[in-house]
Structure 1
């Protein structure tokens, strides 16, 4: 039998398929290679000191908010809160390292459970793959939800079930809660610049609801005490100037992106944003550009070098258009800045866990607190000013003069934006 002669359309499809696979292979190989080289270069490097802003407390409505920009200060207050718990602890984190700091938190939570405190813990299995299995064994009197490595189950076709639990929450009794960008680990204690807030007063009740809703939505439907529904008795009072916004992929709820966009659209004086990983969609970038073009002082502060080099290169693809529109870009030196904050016009602010990228804004479980208060906005602006003083401003001339191979790398990696 003679071989069948391929038609022109079949040949076109075959060539197109091979071309796409080749392009994707080049992108993947480049990303993997860059990550390996970056990891090798980081080995043995000692962390450098960086300026921080001391904790500061302001009254907001009937609540108080205390800001943290240094992990050691934050961890001291979190551990003190755990040690002082009398009735209940709700603890949730994305990364929980099995190092000295991770062990301190684990021991404090176990001690609280031993003295009769209800202790609920949630952590993400994927984010802690490299953590020792020994560390992940907890006393039976602690109720622990391990958000699964593969959360979709048999519903592999349901993309809403693939989001990771990227939230960081601690609530102790009814009187204090913590939320922000800090994970739990020794490196974050002294080597990373992040932002977290401690909240007291009525606003804590909404943070408790956020934890309970996640627990009840994702717990396994079994009878074991550690997996029973978490029922809370919280007041129905609303704190009108402090609001929590949650991305819940399982329910197709993604309000945090809208919160950012609305605040930027309403700005008239200044928009100061700090982001660990900045990979916006084009509409988000357009909102920042439109604000700058109408005279708003738009500033973006990102790491000079983050812990994810591929994310750095992909984010740079937006720099040209932002700089051309008048957005000022600052790159933080000597440490990884992991904060996710925005303050607008000296009156509105947000702090939380959501990065400006697809994974945070359209994929993961996230939580941000929105605050309508001038004193709190002023605090965040002062933090931004300190960070800006430790940053290098990127100019349009400097950016356009970068090497050709850098432009090529940015263009090659650009199609990976929807994946990050």
Structure 2
């Protein structure tokens, strides 16, 4: 019987080199296949997305824009605070401008979008007038959201302190999440006595043709908004901009609290606010959203609430101003409808509100959509209010909105053309950027 000769150290090294070289070759081939597959998939997504956008542009050209309902504001007393809810933009703008014109000490204004149109000019004139009479005026608007606004409009006198939240910041957002996020907030605070927050940007389009929701606070709860503005301003201001006074609050049991998403501090409480409220629900959850793309946890919380007998309703526009967000949102409708969640589609007018009520006791109104960008990306602020009267106001508004909606049934949705489902599946991966 022949004995097997042991391998020499040199032969072992040679074999290991061959195997290593072959392994590298296999890995290179695998990477090449993966890259080609990813590029092909991205190409399909871009092609489908372009087709969807083109079809939507054609639809918009053929449609006649509707007018937002001119419903009057509703007011409630919430503890020591008076809370007024607006659903018609012109009413809101009139009261915001009146507050600025009545300012004596300071005006803090942040707006994600500030159009250079008639309404935008009215706000610009008002803050300049305030600064001219000695009022401290500090403004923040997002650079990216206002790229299309003429540069001349964004120039203010030196007496007005302006922060253009930069389009590009130092550092890589993918590596350092603290560098990510747009400033999506809409806040106005005047003299610490009155504050406004909600979904309305500044512009003529929103004054009469969009259905949005904003609230005005009068009372100690204004501190919640002022503190949010001051913290942001002092954290991001550049040399030459004034440091704003920072004050604490003596109220620890306020029925009005602000939840603030702050990427620079890696804090995203608005999502937790929703999850907590959904987990507590026993009777009804009524949600209004401009863009509704729930993550897995929020989706499961909605389905669990429905499974235990809660009346869960989600109201959104049939056609928003972002068609890709609409298509991605529709990917989740089958699961929601099968789980008993009722979906209502607002007709003819863009709904941009970000509100919810739970059990007629809990309310949130603010700037954050239920989507990835708002809940895990942008600077946002939502008020959380525990008060039956304010919840009643929001439920009254929700019921009024239902009169302009059609309910989507599970049967109707399942009978949609087959290619709708294909488009939804192809574009669903875009949820991370919407």
- String of CA shifts for 1:47-80, please: whole Å, max 9, x gaps: 2134353101110000010000010110010011
In the alignment, the residues of structure 2 paired with residue 28 and residue 9 of structure 1 have an alpha-carbon distance, to the nearest angstrom, of 28
Specify the structure having the higher radius of gyration (Cα). Answer: 2
Instruction: Tell me if 1:335 matches 2:349.
Output: yes
Cα deviation digits, residues 14-44 of structure 1 (max 9, x gap):
1221011110121123223322442343247
How far has the Cα of 1:232 moved from its partner?
4.0
> Structure 1 residues 377, 148: closer, same or farther in 2, change over 3 A?
same
CA distance in 1, matches of 2:262, 2:168: 16
Is residue 2:233 matched to residue 1:219? no
1:175 shift after superposition: 0.9
Give the match for residue 294 of structure 2: 280
Deviates more, 1:34-43 or 1:285-294: 34-43
Q: Is the 8 A contact 1:68 1:197 kept in 2?
A: yes
Q: How does 1:336-415 map to 2 (within 5 A)?
A: 336-415=350-429
Matched, 1:118 2:132: no
> For 1:127, what is the secondary structure of its paired residue?
coil
Decide whether the 8 Å contact of 1:51 with 1:390 is kept in 2.
no
Q: Give the match's secondary structure for 1:171.
A: strand
**1:242 aligns to 2:256 (yes or no):** yes
Distance 2:249 2:385 in 1: 20
CA distance in 2, matches of 1:259, 1:235: 21
State the TM-score, normalized to the length of structure 2. Answer: 0.92
Q: Provide the aligned C-alpha RMSD in A.
A: 1.7
Q: 368-377 vs 5-14, which deviates more?
A: 5-14
Corresponding residue number in structure 2 for 1:252: 266
User: How far apart, CA to CA, are the structure 2 residues paired with 1:21 and 1:254?
Assistant: 33
User: Does the 8 Å CA contact 1:51/1:386 hold for their aligned counterparts?
Assistant: no
- 2:338 aligned counterpart, secondary structure: helix
Task: Give the structure 1 partner of residue 7 of structure 2.
Answer: none
Compute the displacement of 1:118 (Å): 0.7
Distance 2:372 2:358 in 1: 22
Between Structure 1 and Structure 2, how many residues are aligned?
413
Please state if 1:94 is matched with 2:94. Answer: no
Q: Cα offset for 1:369?
A: 0.3
1:165 pairs with 2:183:
yes
Equivalent residue runs for 1:33-48 within 5 Å: 33-43=51-61, 45-48=63-66
8 Å CA contact retained: 2:368, 2:374: yes
Residue 212 of structure 2 is aligned to residue 198 of structure 1: no
Check whether the contact 2:73–2:86 (CA below 8 A) recurs between aligned residues.
yes
TM-score, normalised to structure 1's length? 0.95
Question: How far off is 1:334 after superposition?
Answer: 0.7
Tell me if 1:306 matches 2:324.
no
Change (3 A) 1:419 1:13: same
Once the two structures are superposed, what CA deviation does each residue of 1:2-23 show, in whole Å capped at 9, x if it has no partner? xx99944432321221011110
